[in-house]
Amino acid sequence: MKEPFLDPMEKQRKFINDRDGFDLSAPPSFKINEIRAAIPQHCWVKNTWRSLSYVLRDVLVIFTLIAASTHLNNWFFWPLYWTAQGTMFWAIFVLGHDCGHGSFSDNSKLNSLVGHVLHSSILVPYHGWRISHRTHHQNHGNIEKDESWVPLTEKIFKELPPKSRILRFTVPFPMLAYPLYLWFRTPGKEGSHFNPNSSLFKADERKLVVTSTLCWTLMVVLLAYLSFVVGPVQMLKIYGVPYLIFVMWVDFVTYLHHHGHDEHKLPWYRGKEWSYLRGGLTTVDRDYGMFNSIHHDIGTHVIHHLFPQIPHYHLVEATKAAKPVLGKYYREPKKSGPIPFHLMKSLARSLSQDHFVSDTGEIVYYETEPNLYKNSAGKLTDIF
């Protein structure tokens, strides 16, 4: 008998799901309250002093690295410094991220104070980012409402200029996108994390955004002053290059939390098919080797997405407790060596294949534009 016709995406989906007989997009039989009940009660407890100890640890490491760089000041040490310091900038971003979720402390004023200090120091507008990140968590996996690395629809993808398409899907350019996202969001969405009148924010949130933008501006002024005092080249070495490394960490980690799984393509939802639980179950845990503890276990991401109130230092235990309930909806991360080189392969493969989703359908998967690079050969040289 002749096999019934299936469009290419349906064939791909059928192949992926039939390999182990499991359909990740199927509504789970368990409820979110069952996952919550499986997590030990102490995992929900926020220890303010413990959280502050992580801030103290990271800040001490940052200033120790600065002192070492100015003392040694040789070209053998600088690349090591840039890598280490950029990673520490990323670590304090994660602690500021916890402040934004309220998982740092039960004291909202302390969360705001620490969040502003940490995020402003790495040029992130705390409230502007916090509010959009809340939108991301509330709508994870929803094509129409999600806020972080949202798939382009086919229509928007094809309307992009060829140069923009190449930049978006060619390493390392997507790994430098974060500052642009803060200023302009993503294609198909308007607004800025710095503008209190942006559609990102409600009327009662605008004063908060003004405060964060002011703190960001003060940090820029401080950096300009320090550049005048020690020289722009020295500031580029001490702060500028580590900032770029930090940006690459942000984009690398946040992208891989929602893309590029090795065994299953991840579904995205629209309309009635989306739910908070189904969207959260499409996030991906990652193993970052030696960096897991440095960046506060942010790779333990599924439980964090479902329950962002859980402090980072309880995420590993909470995930272990929840796995029996999650079953096959939890995808065990591939074990990493000390340095997660395997994730570079996942990133490159995803960027070469995950280009857009269909304009229609309530459960969709990324599709590939096979002629993306062929039709744009030589275009990269025209960009600069």
**pLDDT category of residue 73 using cuts at 50, 70 and 90:** confident
Mean pLDDT of 87-108: 98
Task: Kindly state the tokens that stand for 346.
Answer: 């996942």
| Three-state SS at 153 | strand
Mean pLDDT of 301-326: 97
Task: Kindly state the tokens that stand for 149.
Answer: 């690395």
Q: What is the pLDDT of residues 228-261, one digit of tens each?
A: 999 999 999 999 999 999 999 999 999 999 998 8
Task: Kindly state the tokens that stand for 187.
Answer: 């294609």
Residue 325 CB neighbours (<10 A): 18
13 pLDDT above the threshold of 80: no
For residues 246 and 22, the model is more confident at: 246
What is the C-alpha separation between 298 and 93, in angstroms, rounded? 11
CA pseudo-torsion sign 194, 198, 200, 205 = positive
Which of 2-16, 128-142, 174-188, 268-282 is predicted least confidently? 2-16
Mean pLDDT of 123-135: 96
299 pLDDT above the threshold of 60: yes
Task: Kindly state the tokens that stand for 303.
Answer: 């439980």
Residue 375 has what pLDDT? Answer: 57
What are the strands, taking DSSP E only, across 142-291?
Answer: 268-269
Q: What is the pLDDT of residues 166-215, one digit of tens each?
A: 888 988 889 999 999 999 988 778 899 999 999 999 999 999 999 999 99
What is the C-alpha separation between 84 and 62, in angstroms, rounded? 9
| Helix ranges (DSSP H) in 236-326 | 241-256, 276-280, 291-294, 302-306, 315-326
Give this prediction's pTM: 0.90
Residue 20 has what pLDDT? Answer: 62
136 pLDDT above the threshold of 90: yes
- Domain spans of the chain, in order of start: 8-383
Candidates 282, 253, 260; CA nearest to 269 is 282
Q: What is the pLDDT of residues 48-69, one digit of tens each?
A: 999 999 999 999 999 999 999 9
What is the C-alpha separation between 159 and 28, in angstroms, rounded? 36
Cis peptide before 338 (omega within 30 of 0): no
**Are 93 and 54 contacting, i.e. CB atoms less than 8 angstroms apart?**
no
